[in-house]
Amino acid sequence: MENRQGRVSEPSDTHAWEVSWWWHALVLAGLAVVAGTAYATAPPGWRWVALALMGALVVWFPLGGWLLLSAGSRYGSPRDAVFVLVVAVLYTPVCVITPPASWGMFVVAPVCFMLAGRWFGLATVATVLLVPQILQLPLGRATPGELAFILVVYVPVLGFSAWMSFWIERIIDQSAERSELITELRRSRAEVTRLSEEAGAMAEREHLAREIHDTLAQGFTSIVTLANAVEAEISADPQAARRHVAMMRDTASENLAEARALVAARGPAALDATSLEEALSRATRRLGEELGADARFTTTGEGFPPPSAVQVGLLRAAQEALANVRKHAAAGRVTVTLAYEPGRVALEVTDDGRGFDSGTHPPGHGLESLTARAERAGGACEVHSRPGAGTEVRMTVPVTNEPGGRQQ
């Protein structure tokens, strides 16, 4: 909601039609003045009667109307009908005794309309306003001409009151509906905020799970594999055991750097001070040293620096593919190729290991992670394998290479 100064403010929880203490105070003060008028203008023998009736009305208002208005009651509940009926019974005789007291309708009429609604309120107001004037004729206090003049004045006033009450009722009804819509909108907005926060937290958890799986988990797996090798070599081949211990130390150091990078929300530690090609070459060489396999890294095409997000995705994809080779392939030869092609860059990891039936074998978490990374970058990931014929993993990501080597 925008106010006149152009500032956005929250809608108020208090409805404009809800009455407060000052409203009740004004009505009671108005009734007290009417009571004084009735006592001063009534015939001497009827003054105390008029005052007693007005006193009862002053007491009846807080006992009945005050409670009903404070409870937000509107438009003709049985309690409202009883309230305005008592008002008519008490106030009509006062106006019969002393017609000048009828000016108090300015105080009584709004309460009748607010509680009884348009038609019942109008009937009550018409009774209190017209009946005393009509009774003045048989009481000999008015002539037919004077009564006709009064009716000519009062009837249009009643018509205007009916129209005004109808208009005010519509405003209040529409405002109440809008208040309900605003309340529902607030609830919906709070629900959307909650769901957005949950979705963001879930996305962050999935991101961390992928990063941990592709970095720390793979590093720990490598350390466990090397520890098993050291255990077998420590007596038979101490030199090989020392070499594997050094590899364990390097892997642990890299895992520590990756953990710190995750905590600091930075990119992969392997790309902090080196290029993508160097990081892929180092990961490939390390795998060959761990497995004693022939592991080679090559590049093809005209090289250009992909965006950092693409570099991260390609490095993580290579780490995941090499981890699968380490755990499942039993390969003697592994090739990692970074291919720069027109409009895209591709990563291929192939091995001559045991392979599997890619058509029927359900993808594991690692292959699902590769596919998800490729799709987020607008690319694709393909896995081709046959039992005994090795495995090929190919991930392609679209890029735009502008002249001069700038990456867009």
pLDDT at residue 336, rounded to an integer: 92
Sequence-ordered list of residues with C-beta below 8 angstroms from that of 316, at least 6 positions apart, any chain:
210, 211, 214, 215, 268, 369, 373
> Nearest CA to 78 among 88, 92, 68, 87?
68
Q: How far is CA 1 from its chain centroid?
A: 18
What SS3 string covers the chain? CECCCCCECCCCCCCCCCCCHHHHHHHHHHHHHHHHHHHHHCCHHHHHHHHHHHHHHHHHHHHHHHHHHHCCCCCCCHHHHHHHHHHHHHHHHHHHHCHHHHHHHHHHHHHHHHHHHHHHHHHHHHHHHHHHHHHCCCCCCCCHHHHHHHHHHHHHHHHHHHHHHHHHHHHHHHHHHHHHHHHHHHHHHHHHHHHHHHHHHHHHHHHHHHHHHHHHHHHHHHHHHHHHHHHHHCCCCHHHHHHHHHHHHHHHHHHHHHHHHHHCCCCCHHHCCCCHHHHHHHHHHHHHHHHCCEEEEEEECCCCCCCHHHHHHHHHHHHHHHHHHHHHHCCCEEEEEEEEECCEEEEEEEECCCCCCCCCCCCCHHHHHHHHHHHHCCCEEEEEECCCCCEEEEEEEECCECHHHCEC
* CA triple 44-50-56, angle to 5 deg: 150
Tokens at residue 318, please? 């290579």
What are the extents of the domains in the chain?
Answer: 21-142, 274-408
Whether 319 and 215 have beta carbons less than 8 Å apart is answered as yes
Task: Please say whether the beta carbons of 120 and 83 come within 8 A.
Answer: no
- Output the CA angle 288-230-223, nearest 5 degrees: 60
Residues 6+ apart with CB under 8 A from 361: 385
Angle at alpha carbon of residue 231, lines to 228 and 234, rounded to 5°: 140
From first to last of its 408 residues, the chain has per-residue pLDDT tens of 444 444 444 555 555 555 566 767 787 888 888 888 888 888 888 899 989 998 888 888 777 666 555 555 455 566 777 778 888 888 889 888 988 888 888 777 777 777 776 777 778 888 888 888 888 888 877 788 887 888 888 788 778 777 877 787 787 778 778 888 888 998 888 888 888 877 777 877 776 776 676 667 777 777 787 788 788 778 778 887 788 788 778 777 777 776 776 665 555 655 666 788 888 888 888 888 877 888 899 998 876 778 888 888 888 888 888 888 888 878 889 999 999 888 889 999 999 888 887 666 555 666 777 787 788 878 888 888 888 888 888 989 988 754 433 333
295: nearest Cα among 286, 305, 304: 286
Fold entry, domain 274-408: Heat Shock Protein 90 (3.30.565)
